[in-house]
Amino acid sequence: MFVSIEGVDGCGKSTQARLLADYLTGLGREVVATREPGGTELGERVRELVLNGPEMAAWAEAALFAASRAEHATEVIRPALERGADVVCDRFIDSSLAYQGIARGLGLEEVLVLNLTVLEGLLPRRTFVLALDAAVARSRRTANPDRIERAGDAFQAEVGDAYAALAERFPERLELIDGGLPPAEIAAVVQSRVADLL
């Protein structure tokens, strides 16, 4: 099973990805916990570039994320799924759809086609989006914002709206969860939904 956790920066998705991986491991399942951008040597280099590198054109940003994702799918995700492991990913394709496709204005369809092409159609079975107000999310983040976090609350609010639009567009795969709930309550909701898929 392949599950991803999404949301604006600071929403708590990394915590929830870890808690979900721990839950599945506790059930005796093999779990591969990974993240985007990252998960591979190439992906980690792309992560450093897009988060801490120079300003770049929106399509350059989208292409870098897609390149990292293609390598991630080939090296990590597909092999794990093929051997019967569960994959829990902190961000995946929906980040690009929300951030670059909608919030940066490149076009949802255009960014979707790019990513589905490099992924050869690979998608998570379920994606949980932690919905949280941009200002609240900012208050949770570290003191040293990365390049994308520095885009500000208005941009993050657009990203939040983009995720809501994605949940409406792909209801069979995406589910919005209140990111303002205590982490244990969010984890309980995610675990109950995943248990239904096992």
Sketch out the chain's domains with CATH numbers.
2-195 (3.40.50.300)
- Backbone φ and ψ for 160, nearest 5 degrees, come out as -60, -45
Which residues does 52 contact at the CB level (< 8 Å), separation at least 6?
Answer: 146, 147
Per-residue confidence in pLDDT tens, the chain, 198 aa: 999 999 988 889 999 999 999 999 999 999 999 999 999 999 999 999 999 999 999 999 999 999 999 999 999 999 999 999 999 999 999 999 999 999 999 999 999 999 999 999 999 999 999 998 877 877 777 777 777 877 878 888 999 999 999 999 999 999 999 999 999 999 999 999 999 988
Which residues does 193 contact at the CB level (< 8 Å), separation at least 6?
Answer: 126, 128, 175
Give the pTM: 0.93
Which among 24, 35, 27, 34 has a CA at the least distance from the CA of 1? 24
